[in-house]
Amino acid sequence: MYFAVVGAHVRGKSASPAMHTASFKALGINAVYIAVDVPKEELGCFAQIARLNFRGFNVTIPHKEEVVKFLDALSAEARAIGAVNTVLVERNLMVGYNTDAHAVYKLAGGHMEGAEVLILGAGGAARAALFAAIKAGAKKIYVKNRTAERAEALAREFREKFERPIEAIPWSGAVKADVVINATPIHDAVIADLTGASLYVEFVYTPTPRTKMVEEAERLGVKVVDGVDLLVEQGAQAEKIWLGVEPDRAVMKKAVLEFLGL
């Protein structure tokens, strides 16, 4: 069986091949997992190759929204989110799922219930985080993105779809929240005020899970769910979808940390 992660500049940088390879070995499953760099204009071509040759694949920046148009079906959650990060190929049909949302909800849902949540970003990861916050019962959700129009469009879409209080705020604007989620690739700057927050959630794990925002959270005594935690949890859920197994998350996390040299 063949699996892959597809995105921009993932070869040699994504920890997913190391993580899943270690997990497959521990499970006694004969499978190969590779990283494939796929430009946006070649995503459709890759999808056709995957349809005939792969059992499943993961999708990362910048294809989580774009890949939807090449799939045969979506899970109910992926359809509501409007983004896919995990694809199951079965009988040459491709079904999209969103295990990012599962991971955020599982690791941060308890903190988001009745809370104010700030989501940084407006792409596929932000969509997953927004859905998880809604599912958890957040009291109010703020969306903040460098391109204001994207933040406003995303907030409006989910506000109308789910009838929940969701507000876009300017990138330069300041808002304090109980839970802050960084769904951007920014790793080298403090991009939100964490004062008073109870939890910080970070999607970024490379070049290091100790991003500037993670360091800021630790300085302030804010609990952290880092990019490695999220990667492992969404990856474990992907393996359950692909293979119907319950993988060992400790094995997966050890492989990620070794890949990162930690």
In sequence order, the β-bridge partners of residue 33 are: 3
> Biggest alpha carbon distance in the chain?
51
Tokens of 104: 């955020």
Spell out the alpha helix ranges (H) of the chain. 16-27, 43-53, 76-81, 99-112, 124-136, 148-162, 212-220, 227-243, 249-259
User: Is-catalytic flag, 69?
Assistant: no
Task: Name the nearest CA neighbour of 233 among 248, 215, 218, 211.
Answer: 248
Question: Which candidate in 13, 64, 223, 240 is catalytic?
Answer: 64
- Helices 124-136 and 148-162 sit at what angle, rounded to 10 degrees? 40
Residue 13, CB-side half-sphere exposure with 13 Å CA sphere = 15
Residue 20 carries which side chain, given as an amino acid letter? H
Q: How far is CA 214 from CA 81, 145, 165, 253, in A?
A: 26, 19, 27, 18
What DSSP state is assigned to residue 136? H
CA dihedral 9, 14, 16, 22 (to 10 degrees): 130
How far is residue 111's CA from residue 115's CA, in Å, rounded to a whole number?
7
Task: Give catalytic residue positions.
Answer: 64
